[in-house]
A and B are shown apart, each in its own frame.
Chain A
Amino acid sequence: MNDPAESRKAANRLLSVGKLVCGADVDPLLEQVADGGQLNAHQRDCVHCRAAIGEFTALWDPVREVAAAPVLAPAELTATVIRRIRRLVHDVGYTLQITDGGAIRIAARIVAALARDSARLVPGVRVAFGRSNLSTLGAFAGDGPLGQRPGGASVGVLGRTAVVDLAVAVNYGMPVHDVARDIQRQVVAALHHGLGLQNVTVNVTVDDVLDDAAE
């Protein structure tokens, strides 16, 4: 039993035999070892079962060790997937600001992300997700080249105007309406200061209340 190689050979012989001297089936013992099961009353008193379990334990230990070893995903995997998904999302509108130095365009996704991150800072907000809702402002898009996007829909050129939808979950016990108003104020301020947007509509949907016991 002390020699791993001998243990494996013994284990294999056991599998061929099928039954131990005490009458116990061998395969359930291998299953028990592989699943980390405890000894039952018979096994605690049976030298044959305990010997077989010892053999199988030596055999299965390498499997257990490989299974427990961490497997690190490539660092770029998550970023690559997210990049591909963002390309699949057709919401590719832009804000447009004309300055003395030229045009500044900010992707709608950035507007949504900043709004989301601002909302998450409001006390009582557990989670928040943002989506730009530029399609509701299609009338602003016009016919210029910036108003075109793949798929034929025309949204995107919105000057300094943005509409953002936020879905939020708030902590249980918080005054939902007050939290929602705080979100609107904070997001409007963040988009104004952060992106220079002056006409911002923030639609807040509080769609879940989460118990904070998990925290």
Chain B
Amino acid sequence: MSEVDDAYLVRRAQAGYPDAYEFLVQRHSGMAYRVALRLVGNHHDAQDIAQEALVAAWESLAGFNADSSFSTWLYRIVTRRALNKVTRSRSARCLDLLDDVPSPGGGAAARVERDLMVDAVTNALAALPFSQRVVLVLHHFEGLSYAEVASVTRSTVPAVRSHLFRARRTLARTLEEWR
């Protein structure tokens, strides 16, 4: 099924074939979780957000008119839900962005160094205002173009550039404190 594109699966799901949507879930749940994790900073909330976003997308699928790609639409739902979560809880500073990933070899010193690095980046990310964090995560972590980020955030390319400009400066200054 890997060769079937999202648009086809969306059309089938909209026509009443729920198993087509199940393929979309299998294809995109990792992305939904990853983005949520990088935006809210803890696994529990990230799982909730990803799950709710994927179910909400199913419930709204009839109204999805394919003026953007399914992934862009899902990015939008995930980021909006992440914003709601952060706004409600103000607790986006749990520092476990990578704690499920096995540490590379190289001995204890290298692992400690890596943990410090991960903490530094995670702290710096969490300290960013949400609007800057979103564009930074979507562009530098997810690899979306400026135009795609603008589409997800319902913004403009100049606005995305401006947020990214500030986000990079803030991140750079914060990372200086590392060590």
A169 located at the interface, meaning its Cβ lies under 8 Å from any Cβ of chain B in the complex: yes
Chain B hits for A214, CB < 8 A: 3
A77-B17 in contact given A31-B165, A71-B101, A85-B55 (Cβ < 8 Å): no
Interface stretch among A2-10, A97-105, A154-162, A189-197? A2-10
A66-B50 in contact given A15-B173, A81-B55, A210-B4 (Cβ < 8 Å): no
B26 located at the interface, meaning its Cβ lies under 8 Å from any Cβ of chain A in the complex: yes
A144 located at the interface, meaning its Cβ lies under 8 Å from any Cβ of chain B in the complex: no
Contact A131 B17 (CB under 8 A): yes
Contact A66 B97 (CB under 8 A): yes
B93 located at the interface, meaning its Cβ lies under 8 Å from any Cβ of chain A in the complex: no
Contact of A130 among B19, B51, B55, B140 (CB under 8 A): B19
A74-B18 in contact given A30-B169, A34-B168, A80-B51 (Cβ < 8 Å): no
Say whether chain B's binding surface is mostly helix, strand, loop, or mixed.
helix
Which residue in chain B gives the minimum CB-CB distance to A127? B4
Task: Bin chain B's interface residue count.
Answer: 35 or more
20 chain-A/chain-B pairs, Cβ below 8 angstroms: A4-B179, A5-B178, A12-B176, A15-B173, A27-B165, A27-B168, A27-B169, A34-B168, A59-B172, A71-B37, A71-B101, A72-B100, A73-B32, A77-B29, A77-B47, A78-B26, A85-B18, A85-B55, A126-B3, A210-B4
Further contacts, 10 of them, CB under 8 A, given A11-B176, A78-B26: A12-B173, A62-B117, A63-B121, A72-B30, A72-B100, A77-B33, A81-B29, A113-B19, A126-B3, A169-B4
